[in-house]
Amino acid sequence: MFSYFPTGIAAHILSGMLFKCLLLSLIALMSSQAKPKPNIVIILVDDMGYGDPGCFNPRSMISTPHIDSLAREGMKFTDAHAPGPLCHMSRYGLLTGRYPFRTNVGLWPKNPLIKADQMTIASLAKSQGYKTSMVGKWHVGFKENGYDKPLPGGPVDRGFDSYFGIRASTDIPPYFYIRNNKAVHPPTGHIDKELSPERTGWNGIQGRMRRAGGISPDMNIDEVLPNFTDEAVKIIRTHQKKKPLMLYLAYPAPHTPWLPSEKFLGESKVGIYGDFVMMVDAQVGKVLTALKRANMDKDTLVIFTSDNGPCWFDKDVTKYGHDSQGGLRGMKADAWEAGHRMPFVARWPGVTKPNSTSKQLICFTDFLATFADIMGAKIPQEAGPDSFSFLPSLKGKPSLRDTFVMRAGSAKVMTVREGHWKLIDALGSGGFSRPKNVKPKPAGATGQLYHLGKDPSESKNLFLEHPEIVKRLFSKLEAVKNVSHRHLK
């Protein structure tokens, strides 16, 4: 009779094989436990210039110790770009991995810009087991049909588990808080228009500028910034570590109105703008402290950046000795570099080398592919058409992106980057800076071409000197406009 139980040499061999299998399984388990998915915290400030934080501009007249600490402990990107030089454009690209020129961003006041079936960084993270929370300025639209009714199409309908924030900027009415998809209190009151006194010297889109409109009884615009910090800190403090956390904290500052609290008033050498930037930096510091107290700082990727360039004029540089643009040309809304090249810092202990700098060209649209790469997920073919992972760059290696395409803010002016070369398909800024539009002269240049490696301030237009480069970049621009950027690779 045969026995089904192995004996002798066979039993020894089988037991050895079982032991080896168990050992390999244990090693695999330990390996998976040793590398859990990191928490991700995105801190997006509003209208902060490339030259405001000290870590990007040694000559900055504004103290930013907490932003600077992120740069010391992480990686600074010196060629990072908003996908559009205005608030709503930039946020749409950040959330979707899609250039904002591919949609009608002008619909945001009454309709959601992000479609229900469109993948976002939040829906991606949620599908990978993340707890997803957003705090702050949305500005990519809700389906609005009265503020006493639900507001569909917002953060909780686009991948976030929770939301507390405002629909747009703190100078765009109506002013009220939103919790998940409902107004905490409808904007039943009224607040008057406010401008900074003329004696301050601020331009009409600077200072305490605020538009008149409806306001809810619980809204004090001066308290919005610290209230968002308190909400973010609460989310971090109460987070259950069974799931990794993705927190998108979108501050509406230092966008107008500039409202530094009494503690910061007069603390900078750059008027109330500098004071307000210092206040924003202090809020960032509170969030970083909360991560440390929750023992989350070591396993969290923190990304800090700004949505677009500053509202800062030549007269302000002269008056205060502070260059908010950090040597770049232009300002918010412009095709010129200061409109969209952003201060950008990533801190990820154990991955990003402390006090390091990357010259890799990146865009906010790259968040989607990067996070998918980090999470070990694949994004669908139709998602994130303009998204390239910069995870290799976080590890000190080159990433795939070598081209960047953008539409300027207030005109149909397009720009394309390829390596150091930058083409703008019209004359003028295409935004807030003057001249906004310039008519070409007979036989003159019809666009702008700059070599940013040699001329980062865009001072010399080489359009007529390099017709072959102009032709190549126009072809690249048309190709990206008509086809998914990622699929051109």
DSSP string covering 435-462, please? PS--PPPTTS-SSEEEETTT-TT--S--
- Which of 24, 50, 28, 1 lies closest to 336, judged by CA? 50
Stated pTM of the model: 0.92
Give me the sign of the Cα torsion angle 416, 123, 397, 52. positive
Question: Do residues 389 and 373 lie in contact, with contact meaning Cβ atoms separated by under 8 Å?
Answer: yes
- CB–CB of 310/53 below 8 Å? no
In this structure, the number of other CB atoms found within 10 A of the CB of residue 192 comes to 9
Q: Which two tokens stand for residue 411?
A: 């005109």
- pLDDT truncated to tens, each residue of the chain (489 aa)? 434 434 554 444 445 555 555 555 554 444 444 478 999 999 999 999 999 999 999 999 999 999 999 999 999 999 999 999 999 999 999 999 999 999 999 999 999 999 999 999 999 999 999 999 999 999 999 999 999 999 999 999 999 999 999 999 999 999 999 999 999 999 999 999 999 887 888 999 999 999 999 999 999 999 999 999 999 999 999 999 899 999 999 999 999 999 999 999 999 999 999 999 999 999 999 999 999 999 999 999 999 999 999 999 999 999 999 999 999 999 999 999 999 999 999 999 999 999 999 999 999 999 999 999 999 999 999 999 999 999 999 999 999 999 999 999 977 899 999 999 999 999 999 999 999 999 999 999 999 999 999 999 999 999 999 999 999 999 999 999 987 776 665
Pairing of strands 189-191, 213-215: antiparallel
Angle between helices 224-237 and 271-293 (to 10 degrees): 10
Closest CA to 48 of 319, 279, 343: 343
In whole angstroms, what is the distance from residue 422 CA to residue 87 CA?
Answer: 23
Burial class (CB in 10 A: 0-12, 13-18, 19+), 415: buried
Encoded amino acid at 120, one letter = T
CA atoms of 61 and 50, how far apart (whole Å):
13
Instruction: Write out 157-221 in H/E/C secondary structure.
Output: HCCCCEEEEECCCCCCCCECCEECCEECCCCCEEECCECCCHHHCCCCCCCCCECCEEECCCCCH
What's the distance, CA 229 to chain centroid? Answer: 17
Local structure of residue 336 (DSSP, 8 states)? S
> pLDDT (tens digit, 9 = 90+) per residue, 263-303?
999 999 999 999 999 999 999 999 999 999 999 999 999 99
Kind and range of the H or E run holding 476: helix 467-482
Which whole-number Å values give the CA distances from 90 to 97, 129, 291, in the listed order? 11, 26, 26
Q: Which residues of 212-299 form beta strands (DSSP E)? A: 213-215, 245-250
Residue 156: which residues within 8 A CB-CB, separation 6 or more? Answer: 162, 163, 180, 181
Amino acid at 170: T
CA 434 to chain centre: 26
| 118/337 Cα distance (integer angstroms) | 29
User: What's 100's DSSP letter?
Assistant: G
Q: Give SS3 for 313.
A: coil
Q: Please give the Cα distance from 177 to 166 (Å, whole number).
A: 5
* Residue 194, C-beta contacts closer than 8 angstroms, at least 6 positions apart: 208, 209, 210, 257
Taking residue 8's Cβ as centre, other Cβ atoms within 10 Å add up to: 7
